[in-house]
Amino acid sequence: MSRARLLARRAVIGSLGVLLLIQLVPYGRRHTNPPVAAEPKWDSPATRELFFRACKDCHSNETRWPWYSWVAPSSWLVQWDVDQARKQFNISEWNRTDQEGYQASKLVTEDWMPPNKYLIAHAHARLAAADKAALVAGLAATFGTRRPKGPRDLQESIEMP
């Protein structure tokens, strides 16, 4: 066996060993879906449907956890993304006062949301131009485009599921 082949074989075996070992890291398997506490008052059922199609896996407590969310290192990325998304904007906990929904239409317009890395594995979240325009308009109508003045402004937009 040639030296190059031997090195390649060792590299493959070493890589597989590392992949097996990182499965022991506990982060990335805490896949929880807490109960839905409150949902915003949507401007229309169409906006809600588009949001649930393209955004709910990260921005709600109704996440679908795919098979790769259980395998490190992809599980680490998925868990971190969902944790951060829920922290910023979670439609299942609309009774929180620190929501940043007013930025939603802008982020979709500027192609920041949904992120490309999400769209790679979730073809259902790809929106046609007309659907994207409808979602942007619906998000602006539902959440506004400016930071709310205070908790009282948010209280008016709460609707229990």
Residues 6 or more apart from 143 whose CB is under 8 A from it?
Answer: 40, 101, 102, 104, 105, 157
pLDDT at 48 > cutoff 60: yes
Q: Are 36 and 62 in contact (CB under 8 A)?
A: yes
Residue recorded with tokens 């982060």: 27
Neighbours of 144 (CB within 10 A): 16
pLDDT of residue 101: 87
Query: pLDDT band at residue 61, thresholds of 50, 70 and 90?
Result: very high
Residues 6 or more apart from 123 whose CB is under 8 A from it?
Answer: none
pLDDT at 152 > cutoff 70: no
For the whole model, what pTM was predicted? 0.78
pLDDT at 71 > cutoff 60: yes
Sign of the Cα pseudo-torsion (78, 80, 81, 85, in order): positive
| Per-residue pLDDT tens digits for 24-35 | 777 777 888 999
Query: pLDDT band at residue 154, thresholds of 50, 70 and 90?
Result: low
Tell me the residue range of the domain where 88 lies: 3-159
| Per-residue pLDDT tens digits for 85-136 | 999 999 999 988 788 888 999 999 999 999 999 999 999 999 999 999 999 9
> How many whole angstroms separate alpha carbon 79 and alpha carbon 30?
8
**Total domains present in the chain:** 1
